[in-house]
Structure 1
């Protein structure tokens, strides 16, 4: 049910878009009905409007998928997300002297949505918009640690555990043991699991609609455990500020 003062039909249409997203962007009527709890006539009516507006497409198979106008909204939202969070990331990158990244869960992977690069000549640079596997990155493992075990299983069943380096986790039991450790200590560490010679510390960004994480990364010779002791509290402070910004409204 929509919150007091909300519009029920709009609330239900958004539910359908979110369900489509959760199902990988493609679903049949029976799946939408099962997930939403709505009657088929109601779903048909809402989908007809969404199809007419370009937010949903109906495939020849009669299944439904997200439409091109969703991409346009996502691109605009991503740009604004980067603009709004960049000053916080730049301050933290200046204070720590290393690159800082903000990433969110995107289907079965994580996508980098903002970055402030280190000014050092030897630095870690990740392109905004890049999607990476969750299990082999600091931000990805931190995102997984925020999810229920069943949701983690679904992501791994879809994306697998391909090794990015010889240090990547490739065993599901080892991954869950790592996630337990991350939940206990409150931050994740990527020790050459995505790229040899690069280390990363990541913390959760709370209050966001989609699980998110903030990280600092750089050459292993500089991003040591001692560096992490100083960096993690500062990451947590900035993550709290970003979480408040993203949860406004």
Structure 2
């Protein structure tokens, strides 16, 4: 189910309200992305604090270009699959899925669980590829293309553990801590609690989380690095139900996980669409030549 929209004040807030057509359009897309069942026009407008007339024009334009559809006249607006199609077209063109998929498939088969690859884009981790290793029974298989919450995901911990602690905390505080009521019952909600996780992950070489991201689900993740610079460019994660993927089981899988991470590091470096990435540009896995 969609998460309940927070209450917003009636009066305008110049700092919170997006301004400019592009910024408003992106804000609409990002809002609809987290509401899979769609939102009516007035909720989009009120949540983003955009005039309803302007919201209507933006939504109409997005409908005309195929990025949004309306269920029925005066009904909710929903995202179409066009953005997803663009994203996967890019990934296919970059070559990363061709190089990474066999490695993910092997690790999924070895572990019997879901394996996912997340790549760093600026200050975020985005899941871009996966392989399901559980042929039956309980399966954990969330949507692709989501942005991971750094404070409580194994992928986030694997990345943050490779950064100076102050830089790691700054990234988390920019995104916000994942509250236990919204994520898992053991999600770290404070700087002190998070640093305990990161220090253990740093010492071990990979992160292990137990019901921090989703109730009854566990995960372990290792960093994927650029061969040229040593910078972390992404993470590989094994995730599954806690009744099967126990903490002891995750520790057993650690060597296979880290070996897959090393192979993925080489695969990323060999990816033809990404090989031209400038060494000086470490802000994004997706940045190509000349991009910021």
Normalised-by-shorter TM-score class: 0.5 to 0.7
For residue 78 of structure 1, give the secondary structure of its aligned residue in structure 2: helix
Aligned twin of 2:3:
none
Deviation beyond 4 Å, 4+ runs, structure 1: 72-77
Deviation at 1:149, TM superposition (A): 2.3
1:104 aligns with 2:126: no
Alpha-carbon distance change, 148 to 73 in structure 1, aligned in 2, over 3 angstroms: farther
Alpha-carbon distance change, 146 to 77 in structure 1, aligned in 2, over 3 angstroms: farther
Match of 2:247 among 197, 201, 225: 225
Aligned twin of 2:236:
214
Aligned twin of 1:245:
267
1:178 aligns with 2:194: no
Distance in 2 between residues matched to 1:101 and 1:204, nearest whole Å: 12
The 10-residue stretch of structure 1 (187-196 or 172-181) with the greater mean CA deviation from structure 2? 172-181
Distance in 2 between residues matched to 1:142 and 1:107, nearest whole Å: 16
Deviation at 1:230, TM superposition (A): 2.6
Distance in 2 between residues matched to 1:178 and 1:226, nearest whole Å: 16
Cα root mean square deviation, aligned: 2.4
Aligned twin of 1:124:
140
Specify every segment of 5 or more residues in structure 1 that has no aligned partner in the other structure, as ranges. 1-25, 27-71
Specify every segment of 5 or more residues in structure 2 that has no aligned partner in the other structure, as ranges. 1-22, 24-84, 276-292
* 1:109-164 Cα shifts (integer Å, max 9, x gaps): 32111100122231111322111211111011111111222321321231111312
Q: TM-score, normalised by structure 1?
A: 0.66
Deviation at 1:76, TM superposition (A): 4.4
Aligned twin of 1:139:
155
Deviation at 1:73, TM superposition (A): 9.1
Q: TM-score, normalised by structure 2?
A: 0.56
CA contact 1:81–1:113 (8 Å) conserved in 2: no
1:168 aligns with 2:197: no
* 1:36-90 Cα shifts (integer Å, max 9, x gaps): xxxxxxxxxxxxxxxxxxxxxxxxxxxxxxxxxxxx9975443332232111101
1:93 aligns with 2:93: no
Distance in 2 between residues matched to 1:121 and 1:94, nearest whole Å: 15
Alpha-carbon distance change, 183 to 210 in structure 1, aligned in 2, over 3 angstroms: closer
Distance in 2 between residues matched to 1:121 and 1:139, nearest whole Å: 24
Match of 2:168 among 125, 147, 152: 152
For residue 253 of structure 2, give the secondary structure of its aligned residue in structure 1: helix
Aligned positions, number:
180
Distance in 1 between residues matched to 2:173 and 2:111, nearest whole Å: 37
- Say which structure is richer in helix: 1
